[in-house]
């Protein structure tokens, strides 16, 4: 009788732990939840990876679903040539880096202005900012193009760079909102004590607010990098020439037919090649995030300690 | 792997040093020049315009001055790039407007006829109602889902980096041209969800009236979850800001994890719930699915001509998107209102 009771308490300790959070049951629930949720997002990626390594015979074969019979590297070679990775990767990377850095910097300034200062018409301006975000771009597109043309920015990168610099870039309003909420949570005591020590507002912003807001800066930079990288509609309209990698991906079939005319070897374009091209386009983003996220979380931890 | 990390850290620290040494002084100088020049000279107690006119500097005026200084970039950009398109589209929605190659857009003022026509339309009104119901259902699901995921990957689990990268995937994939490619090949819906034996069983035994809604719910649920990437990351960042010692203190006082969630976690991530609601509503609404409202608006805009009986041109499509816009504002307003009610109860 006593033994079974002891066993019961031990079992309880292993299953539920001392504080429930460190028990086996809790861990089991967490990992099952994570694995099942991540399957939703991993499925397309796995599909892309496996299919991009398949030859055309494997793609047609119904029996081959996940593991290709032999690994076909020509898919990647062809996609590499069609997308002209060497040249277009560097140009795309520089363009996206420029625009996203500018967008991050300007939205940080604006978000700080909205969060820390009281001025007349503030609420109205804030609402106007949100309206520009909520209003579908399709309806403002025609007059937007007119403005860009009048400024003489059509078919140059300036059409994307100047709006980004002036806080009107892609999804800039959501960045301003993120910065706004982050700066709002900063204690006012910090800026007040700096003010007493004789720092002007600009100094307070660069020396105190910005270093504390590193997590939000990283998050906004990552988002704007990914969004500018992936944006094809506006980039295609404004900058005109197919310079960025995702734009090239859109015209993949046409440029493939140009490089491998019908009748030549490897002329048949299959899904494998297209998916290999897709993989090559999103791979840089995943690598950047995987390296960046470690730093991103660490800086947040540090902020948590120094923030209060 | 460790070497890569080290290299990356080195680069970052170099950037930080460069920022502290080079960029930060330049920014300070620019800020100083903005407040100390010929036109305007700001000292702590007074402002001097053109070194002649003096004005007392109160705390209120100071704050207003610096506030406008900080958002001046946005103000200029707004006046140049965003104000005219908004007003122009609002004006277009009150007119009969068609595109003409010679003269550009031809307009003829007709008042609110476009809006009335939309309310009379048999095809459009159900679309708006569908959209509204879909938003009301899916926004809470998404918020709760992304909050759960963010809290899960904030736990001390093994392989944090890998998990976080996995939940970053939807941001990368769903914003690019890749999503359409994957959708065309049917990779975004799970086969185990669509060919489900239970659904067959249900429709055979209970009837399709129950099975069809469940099936459509499951299908759209999966699609909806693709929007969760950004909210997860925003929640994660806000969760990381909470000081760990607060949890320790509360658990010493005998609070359960359940109490911790309601009393500590939720209040501190509340400001970001509204950010996420706005993001989700806008991004879900702006995805132009075929046969949706935005798609129809585009067709009206492009194929509308003077004598067309099917497509009514720029003005009609502008009115359509403005109604769409007001619906979005209402949806956001409903959820923002719900959040603020909860706050008052406490």
With respect to residue A69, please indicate whether it lies within any of the assigned structural domains.
no
What's the half-sphere exposure (Cβ side, CA atoms, 13 Å) at A58? 19
> How many residues in chain A?
308
* Pick from A213-227, B42-56, B64-78, B117-131: least confident: B42-56
CA dihedral B321, B327, B331, B334 (to 10 degrees): 150
Residues of A whose CB is below 8 A from B225 = 40
Residues A211, A122 within the same domain: yes
According to the model, what pLDDT value does residue A110 have? Answer: 92
Asked if A149 and A108 count as a contact pair (C-beta separation under 8 A), the reply is no
CA-nearest of A204, A222, A179 to B238 is: A179
CA-nearest of A50, A87, A46 to A248 is: A87
Burial of residue A102 (number of CB atoms within 10 Å: 0-12, 13-18, 19+): buried
Ramachandran area for residue B190 (φ above 0: left; ψ -120 to 50: alpha; else beta)? beta
Q: Does B181 touch chain A (CB under 8 A)?
A: yes
Range of the domain at A205: 84-250
Residues A17, A129 within the same domain: no
With respect to residue A154, please indicate whether it lies within any of the assigned structural domains.
yes
- Whether pLDDT at B259 is above 80: yes
The chain A residue lying nearest B193, using CA atoms, is A40
Q: Rounded distance, CA B324 to CA A273, Å? A: 39
- Whether pLDDT at A1 is above 60: no
Nearest Cα of chain A lies from the Cα of B198 at a distance, in angstroms, of: 19
With respect to residue A104, please indicate whether it lies within any of the assigned structural domains.
yes
With respect to residue A225, please indicate whether it lies within any of the assigned structural domains.
yes
According to the model, what pLDDT value does residue B342 have? Answer: 62
According to the model, what pLDDT value does residue A302 have? Answer: 46
Q: Rounded distance, CA B304 to CA B311, Å? A: 5
With respect to residue A232, please indicate whether it lies within any of the assigned structural domains.
yes
- Whether pLDDT at A290 is above 80: no
Residues A122, A215 within the same domain: yes
Residues A111, A216 within the same domain: yes
Strand runs labelled E in B30-77: 40-42, 46-49, 53-56
Helix axis angle, A85-116 to B59-77, nearest 10°: 150
CA-nearest of B167, B139, B135 to B274 is: B139
Residues A166, A18 within the same domain: no
**pLDDT tens-digit readout, B320-338:** 888 888 888 999 999 888 8
**pLDDT tens-digit readout, A102-155:** 999 999 999 999 998 888 888 899 888 888 888 877 777 778 888 888 888 777
Residues A113, A48 within the same domain: no
Q: Cβ atoms within 10 A of the Cβ of B255, count?
A: 16
Under an 8 A CB cutoff, do A38 and B234 touch?
A: no
CA-atom Rg of chain B in angstroms:
27
Put simply, the chain A residues between 247 and 306 with a CB less than 8 A from any chain B CB are 249-250, 271, 274-275, 278, 281-282, 285-286, 289-291, 293-295, 297, 300-301, 303-305
For chain B, the maximum distance between any two Cα atoms, rounded to a whole number of angstroms, is 89
**pLDDT tens-digit readout, B126-169:** 788 878 887 887 888 889 888 988 888 887 777 777 888 888 88
Nearest Cα of chain B lies from the Cα of A202 at a distance, in angstroms, of: 6
Residues A30, A146 within the same domain: no
Residues A151, A48 within the same domain: no
Helix axis angle, A85-116 to A172-185, nearest 10°: 50
Which CATH number does the domain housing residue A99 bear?
1.10.3720.10
More confident residue, B186 or A44: A44
The partner residues of B56 in beta bridges, in order of sequence, read B46
**pLDDT tens-digit readout, A236-261:** 777 766 567 777 777 777 777 776 66
Q: Rounded distance, CA B34 to CA A113, Å? A: 15
Tokens representing B267? 């209040």
Residues A121, A170 within the same domain: yes
Tokens representing B209? 């009236």
For strands B95-100 and B53-56, give the pairing. unpaired
**pLDDT tens-digit readout, B54-100:** 666 677 777 888 888 888 888 888 888 888 888 888 888 888 777 66
CA triple A297-B169-B181, angle to 5 deg: 160
With respect to residue A14, please indicate whether it lies within any of the assigned structural domains.
yes
According to the model, what pLDDT value does residue A107 have? Answer: 92
The partner residues of B47 in beta bridges, in order of sequence, read B42, B55
Q: Characterize B142-179 residue by residue with b for buried, 16 or more Cβ atoms within 10 angstroms of its Cβ, and e for exposed.
A: bbebbbebbbbbbeeeeeeeebbbbbbbbbbbbbbbbb
With respect to residue A116, please indicate whether it lies within any of the assigned structural domains.
yes
Q: Does A165 touch chain B (CB under 8 A)?
A: yes
According to the model, what pLDDT value does residue B346 have? Answer: 45
Task: State how many domains chain A has.
Answer: 2
Domains and CATH numbers, chain B: 123-287 (1.10.3720.10)
More confident residue, B184 or B285: B285
Q: Which of A41, A110, A117 sits opposite B166 (nearest CB)?
A: A41
Residues of chain B with pLDDT > 90, as a percent, come to 1
Question: What predicted TM-score, i.e. pTM, was given to this entire model?
Answer: 0.80
With respect to residue A286, please indicate whether it lies within any of the assigned structural domains.
no
More confident residue, B174 or B163: B163
Residues A102, A210 within the same domain: yes
Where residue A307 falls among pLDDT bands split at 50, 70, 90? very low
**pLDDT tens-digit readout, A72-94:** 777 788 778 777 777 888 888 88
CA dihedral sign, ordered B137, B223, B270, B153: positive
According to the model, what pLDDT value does residue B151 have? Answer: 86
**pLDDT tens-digit readout, B193-218:** 555 666 666 666 666 565 665 666 66
Rounded to 5 degrees, φ, ψ at B40 are -140, 135
Q: Cβ atoms within 10 A of the Cβ of A277, count?
A: 25
Under an 8 A CB cutoff, do B35 and A200 touch?
A: yes
Under an 8 A CB cutoff, do B170 and A41 touch?
A: yes
Residues of A whose CB is below 8 A from B161 = 290, 293-294
Residues A95, A241 within the same domain: yes
Residues A185, A232 within the same domain: yes
Q: Rounded distance, CA B331 to CA B134, Å? A: 11
Asked if A177 and B275 count as a contact pair (C-beta separation under 8 A), the reply is yes
CA triple B251-B256-B257, angle to 5 deg: 95
Under an 8 A CB cutoff, do B294 and A138 touch?
A: yes
**pLDDT tens-digit readout, B298-326:** 777 777 666 666 667 778 888 888 888 88
Asked if A109 and A204 count as a contact pair (C-beta separation under 8 A), the reply is no
Residues of chain B with pLDDT > 70, as a percent, come to 73
What's the half-sphere exposure (Cβ side, CA atoms, 13 Å) at B216? 6
Q: Rounded distance, CA A176 to CA A164, Å? A: 12
């Amino acid at each position: 009788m006593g033994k079974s009771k002891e066993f019961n308490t031990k079992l309880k300790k292993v299953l539920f732990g001392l504080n429930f959070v460190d028990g086996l049951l809790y861990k089991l629930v967490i990992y099952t939840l994570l694995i099942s949720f991540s399957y939703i997002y991993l499925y397309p990626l796995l599909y892309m990876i496996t299919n991009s390594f398949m030859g055309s015979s494997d793609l047609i074969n119904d029996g081959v679903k996940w593991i290709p019979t032999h690994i076909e590297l020509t898919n990647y070679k062809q996609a590499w040539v069609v997308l002209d990775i060497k040249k277009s990767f560097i140009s795309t990377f520089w363009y996206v880096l420029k625009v996203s850095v500018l967008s991050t910097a300007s939205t940080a300034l604006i978000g700080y202005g909205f969060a820390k200062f009281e001025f007349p018409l503030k609420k109205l301006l804030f609402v106007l900012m949100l309206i520009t975000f909520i209003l579908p771009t399709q309806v403002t597109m025609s007059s937007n193009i007119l403005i860009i043309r009048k400024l003489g920015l059509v078919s140059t990168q300036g059409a994307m760079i100047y709006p980004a610099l002036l806080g009107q870039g892609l999804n800039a309003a959501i960045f301003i909102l993120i910065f706004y909420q982050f700066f709002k949570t900063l204690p006012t005591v910090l800026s007040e004590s700096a003010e007493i020590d004789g720092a002007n507002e600009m100094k307070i912003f660069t020396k105190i607010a910005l270093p504390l807001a590193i997590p939000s800066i990283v998050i906004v930079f990552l988002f704007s990098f990914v969004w500018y990288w992936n944006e094809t509609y506006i980039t295609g309209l404004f900058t005109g020439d197919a310079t960025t990698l995702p734009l090239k991906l859109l015209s993949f079939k046409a440029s493939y037919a140009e490089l491998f005319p019908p009748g030549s070897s490897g002329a048949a374009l299959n899904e494998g090649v297209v998916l290999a091209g897709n993989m090559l386009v999103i791979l840089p983003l995943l690598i950047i995030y995987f390296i960046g996220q470690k730093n991103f979380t660490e800086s947040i931890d540090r902020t948590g300690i120094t923030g209060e | 792997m460790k070497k890569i990390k080290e290299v990356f850290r080195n680069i970052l620290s170099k950037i930080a040093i460069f920022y502290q040494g080079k960029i930060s002084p330049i920014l300070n100088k620019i800020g100083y020049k903005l407040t100390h020049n010929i036109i305007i000279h700001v000292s702590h107690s007074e402002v001097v315009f053109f070194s002649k006119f003096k004005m007392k500097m109160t705390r209120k005026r100071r704050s207003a001055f610096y506030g406008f200084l900080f958002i001046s970039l946005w103000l200029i950009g707004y006046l140049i790039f965003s104000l005219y398109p908004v007003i122009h589209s609002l004006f277009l929605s009150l007119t009969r407007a068609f595109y003409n190659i010679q003269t550009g857009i031809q307009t003829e003022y007709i008042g609110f006829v476009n809006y009335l026509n939309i309310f009379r339309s048999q095809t459009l009104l159900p679309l708006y109602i569908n959209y509204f119901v879909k938003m009301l259902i899916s926004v809470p699901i998404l918020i709760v889902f992304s909050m759960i995921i963010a809290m899960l990957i904030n736990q001390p689990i093994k392989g944090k980096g890998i998990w976080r990268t996995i939940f970053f995937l939807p941001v990368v994939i769903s914003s690019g041209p890749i999503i359409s490619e994957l959708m065309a090949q049917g990779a975004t819906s799970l086969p185990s969800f669509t060919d489900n034996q239970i659904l067959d069983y249900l429709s055979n035994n209970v009837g399709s009236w129950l099975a069809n809604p469940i099936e459509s719910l499951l299908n759209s649920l999966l699609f909806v979850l693709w929007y969760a990437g950004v909210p997860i990351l925003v929640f994660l960042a806000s969760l990381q800001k909470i000081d760990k010692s607060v949890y320790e203190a509360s658990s010493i006082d005998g609070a359960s994890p359940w109490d911790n969630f309601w009393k500590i976690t939720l209040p501190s991530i509340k400001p970001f719930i509204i950010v996420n609601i706005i993001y989700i509503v806008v991004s879900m609404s702006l995805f132009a699915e075929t046969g949706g409202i935005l798609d129809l608006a585009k067709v009206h805009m492009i194929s509308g001509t003077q004598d067309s009986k099917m497509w009514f041109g720029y003005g009609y499509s502008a009115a359509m998107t403005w109604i769409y816009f007001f619906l979005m504002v209402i949806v956001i307003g409903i959820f923002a209102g719900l959040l603020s009610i909860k706050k008052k109860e406490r």
